[in-house]
Amino acid sequence: MRTGVALALLLANWPCSVSADEWPAPVPQHALSENGQYLVRVVPGESLGDTYGFAESKKGVYARGEFYQKQPDRSYRLMADVPLLNPVAPANILVSNLGYMVTFDNWHNAGYGKIVAIYKSNGQLVRAYEIEGLYSSEQIESIPRTTSSRHWLSSNYGFNPGNQGQVYAYDFFGGLLLIDLPTGFREYCERSKVMSCLLQQTK
C-alpha cells in the first residue's frame, strides 16, 4: 500500500508547467523538515554581479545557510552557518527528514549557475549540478527563456514519499529527475519512460 501511495504522489501533476520570470525582492527563507527535526534559514547574499545578465552589478557575499536541529527541550540548536552556492538566494529550498537541504535554481536566474545543490545537515555540500550537466545543448536551446532565466523546472518536485533520502523533480520536457541525497547520484527518466522508472522505484 505504501509504495502505491508513493507512486500516486510522484505521478501527481506530471504534466509540467513553468513560472513567469517575475521575481520579488529576495528575503530570508525558512524550510522545516516534515518531522520537525531540522530547520534551515537562508539569508540572501549581495552578489548580483555574479548572476547571468548582471555582470555590471555589485558583487559581494553569497547567500548563507543556517542549519538547525531540534533539541530535547524543543529548542533549535544552530549546527552550522555556511556560505551557499547562490550569489543572491536559491529560488526554492527543501529540507528532508534526514536533515538534507536541497536548493533549486537561483533568484532571478532560473536555469543558470548551480540549478540543484544538496547539503548535509551540517552544511557540507554533497553535490551541485548546472544545467549543462543535466541536458544536451540541443535540449537546453529548446527550454523556454526569458530575459534572465531558462525555465527548465516544473512546479512538481519534492521528496520521494516513501524515501526522504531521495528528491524528485519533473522538468519542462515531462521527464523525471531523481537524485539520491547521501551520494548526489542522479537518474533521469525521459517522459516516455517515467512510468517504468517509477515502478522500479517501488520494488
Task: Return d(Cα 41, Cα 139) in angstroms, integer.
Answer: 34
Exposure class string for 168-203: b at 16+ Cβ within 10 A, else e: bbbbbbebbbbbbbeeeeeeebeeeebeebbeebee
pLDDT in tens, 163-189: 999 999 999 999 999 999 999 999 999
Which grid coordinates belong to 17? Answer: 508547467
Q: Please, which residues have CB within 8 angstroms of residue 190's CB and are 6 or more apart in sequence?
A: 173, 175
Please tell me the pTM assigned to this model. Answer: 0.86
pLDDT in tens, 17-47: 444 456 788 999 999 999 999 999 999 999 9
β-bridge mates for residue 70, sequence order = 76
Domain boundaries, the chain: 2-201
pLDDT in tens, 87-122: 999 999 999 999 999 999 999 999 999 999 999 999
| Residue 22 neighbours by CB distance under 10 Å | 7
- Residue 143, sorted as left (phi over 0), alpha (psi -120 to 50) or beta, turns out to be beta
CATH of 2-201, one of 2.40.10.480, 3.20.20.70, 3.20.19.10, 2.60.120.20: 2.40.10.480
Instruction: Please give the residue that has the higher pLDDT: either 11 or 42.
Output: 42
Rounded to the nearest angstrom, the gap between the alpha carbon of residue 151 and the centroid of all alpha carbons in its chain is 14
